[in-house]
Each structure stands twice: as C-alpha cells, then as structure tokens.
C-alpha cells in the first residue's frame, strides 16, 4: 500500500499569497462567520430586522444540531 498513484511533477511551484493581501479577506470572513454564529446561537429574534422569530425558525434545526437550546 505504499505505491503512489500519481508521480510528483518536477518543477511545480506553488504560488505564495502575501499576508498583506490575505489579511483583509480573513478578517472579512471571520467577522461574517461571527455574525452568522450570533444569528444562529444567540439572536432568537431580539435584534433581527424581520420582527419576531423568523430568523430563529429558519435556523431552528441547525441550532439543535449544534447543541444550542432553543426553548
């Protein structure tokens, strides 16, 4: 089971991405993830633009799968 299915390509160079170009995207997606986590875990309709429990009901089953209590 130590045979390789594909031979490595000689001279294949992976491009590097400078941290200066990667940091804004990492920050953006990190904040977007935190916002999504807030709406899934803690919101329960308190600050949602559609009033009531609309967002809560959209993510209801996901809350249970993630282990958050709903009721």
Would you kindly state where each structural domain of the chain is located, as residue ranges?
37-71
Reduced to 3 states (helix: H, G, I; strand: E, B; else coil), residue 13 is: coil
Encode the chain (71 residues) as per-residue pLDDT tens digits. 577 677 767 777 888 889 999 999 999 999 999 888 777 776 565 665 666 666 667 777 777 887 877 66
Angle in degrees, CA 24, 29, 33, rounded to 5? 150
User: Rounded to the nearest 10 degrees, how much is the dihedral formed by the CA atoms of 13, 27, 60, 67?
Assistant: 80
What is the model's pLDDT at position 53?
A: 67
Cα 10 to chain center, whole Å?
35
What is the model's pLDDT at position 57?
A: 73
User: Rounded to the nearest 10 degrees, how much is the dihedral formed by the CA atoms of 35, 40, 46, 49?
Assistant: 60
Residue 44 near residue 53 (C-beta atoms within 8 A) = yes
What is the model's pLDDT at position 49?
A: 61
What is the model's pLDDT at position 67?
A: 80
């Amino acid at each position: 089971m130590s045979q390789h299915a594909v031979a490595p390509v000689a001279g294949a160079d992976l491009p590097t991405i400078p941290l200066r170009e990667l940091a804004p995207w990492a920050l953006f997606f990190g904040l977007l993830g935190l916002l999504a986590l807030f709406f899934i875990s803690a919101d329960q309709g308190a600050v949602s633009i559609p009033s009531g429990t609309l967002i809560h009901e959209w993510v209801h089953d996901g809350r249970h799968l993630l282990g958050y209590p709903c009721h």
